[in-house]
Structure 1
């Protein structure tokens, strides 16, 4: 058993110190006027079940030390001044049942890390807080009970995230395609497939074969040749590039459906 020291700062400017035992199961630090607190010592508190920092004046808190608190069941951060919070450290807290974030000016919160907290039964935060789901996967039927309450909002947030990712991928692919057409007259299939985020060069090859001859793209000896001048910044060039991207999206969609 070790003695650990938690350190922080109060709104009065006074230094805060509290000595705790590493075997402590419950830790209540509410109404201490805390504006900051270093949770690093809690990495050694693997028996901690309940932790409360409610009714303080915290504007931020780093929860990473709680990754090691595998027995944590209740975390109370309500009635603070938190504007942002990273819940990723809690994804290893498999016993977590209650998370209270009420009465904090949180503009948005990413709940995706809590999907692994299968015991979560109560999650509370203000209705003004926007729900986000910043992971590519979502299994609605496997969400813990505490997240089921926000099922519709989570599904909507996931769709928005997926749409943003797709748009981001398309934008990146568009920029790289423009770069290729501007700087290159030829390129290996392998390199072009990497630049345009194809799964492999065979997939790129199939796409290029499907393109109409009007684009002036030819394949020979594992190389791609651009025989048409698409290097200018004319509206015709932009239209051709946009059309190329649309052709790719159509091909990619049909390829996914074939795989399924």
Structure 2
């Protein structure tokens, strides 16, 4: 019964996330219905319920409440790796990429904990060093490592090599992404799809890293958001030479 309720809440949260590109209204019917189910779950498993509450409030753009429920989960002896990954996902969804990277680094460095489903999330926040520094331990400690994690590790290595040639660090990528996240929060937006598009070019004649996040809306609006990000990077003199960023519309519109 407990597992069923937990799975039910998880499915509701995933359905909610996949059905909107904007923050959900905390006073709305959808939020209240899921919150009620989570409180029912908490009667039997307060720790799991706390993690689900953190997930729910992240969809509403409320990072303060996300942190409250994560701390509550820690007080209830929820495994730290689960709490840090929850923080990483919520921070990334809301555009706090430096914070997401810190949480990811904390989770991936833990000696114990199966990260097989979450290892590749380091790509989202540019935590390439953390991925590569812990890859062997995570591969040995994971139950179902799989080819997707191998691809993620190879992409992280290529990105790291490109950054080294550019004279940049992971923190420079995160600073750029933080500006993009700031623009998203101003529009109360959640980026869409399974993750960013990340392309790495590292040849003898050319070098660069491209990050692209999908957002709801038409191509013109996505372009306007991109321009706002670029303008702020220039205004704040954030050095991210060789790293490009843009928003893309979701769903992707194919030419007829």
TM-score, normalization: structure 1? Answer: 0.28
Report the structure, 1 or 2, having the larger helix content: 2
Report the structure, 1 or 2, having the larger strand content: 1
